[in-house]
Amino acid sequence: MTDKNTVLDDVVNGEEAPPSSSSKRLAIEWAPFHRGKVGEETLVKRALRSTPLFENLRSRDWKLMSDLFHVRDYSAGEVIFEKGTPGLGMYVIVDGRVKIVTEEKGKDVVLTTLNHGDFFGEMSLIDEIERSAGAVAETQTRLVGLFRPQLQQLMTHRPRLGITLFERLAKIVVQRLRYSNQLLLQQMQEYKSQEQA
């Protein structure tokens, strides 16, 4: 018997999320993360603690949080999620590389490549918005997933820890928005300079 749950990128604890308008939903095998597998636990903890969302958590908080995490391995080239699909979780890269991609004029455009310790999809923990880009495993990749329904359960049962995580999440989102604004301004200035030349 396997301990894996079949999830549709938003199934939590074996319960399916309500049907969405998305016509394409990928069934994904996510295994609950179990403390006690020493090698796996060390790798997962190291990856999670390298992210601003989970760094410096107390041991007691880590024990509470680790029950919420799910682990999944992806093959090179395997789609993690597609642009336009509902997002209900964030992902931390334990091992491997992930390309964040979008489509422009019928061609895939790589927006960025993420590595060990990087994370993505964090805005889905706040709001069930459609993914603004897709994610594809560039190499054999192991991810840890945290899904919004589980974070909401944490808010209900452990509000202090939940509030701490939401405050950190808000800071991360603000930092990324500021960075995006800076890039946009820089591109606009470069475009104006090219027009004047």
Q: Is the pLDDT of residue 137 over 90?
A: yes
pLDDT confidence bin for 34, thresholds 50/70/90: low
In the block, residue with structure tokens 């090698």: 39
Measured distance CA(44)–CA(39) in Å, rounded: 9
Q: Six-digit token pair at 82? A: 């597609």
- Which sequence spans correspond to the domains of the chain? 5-196
The CATH number of domain 5-196, selected from 2.60.120.10, 3.20.20.10, 3.40.50.720, 1.10.375.10: 2.60.120.10
- The yes-or-no verdict on residue 24 having pLDDT over 50 is no
The answer to whether residue 35 scores a pLDDT higher than 70 is no
Q: Which of 91, 89, 84 is nearest to 152 (CA)?
A: 89
User: How distant, in Å, are the alpha carbons of 1, 16, 79, 81, 85 from that of 25?
Assistant: 25, 12, 11, 9, 8
Nearest Cα neighbor of 90 from 42, 36, 52 is 52
| 19 CB burial (10 A radius; 0-12, 13-18, 19+) | exposed
Predicted confidence at residue 124, as pLDDT, reads: 87
Residue keyed to tokens 């179990």: 34
pTM: 0.73
User: Which tokens is 165 given?
Assistant: 């995580």
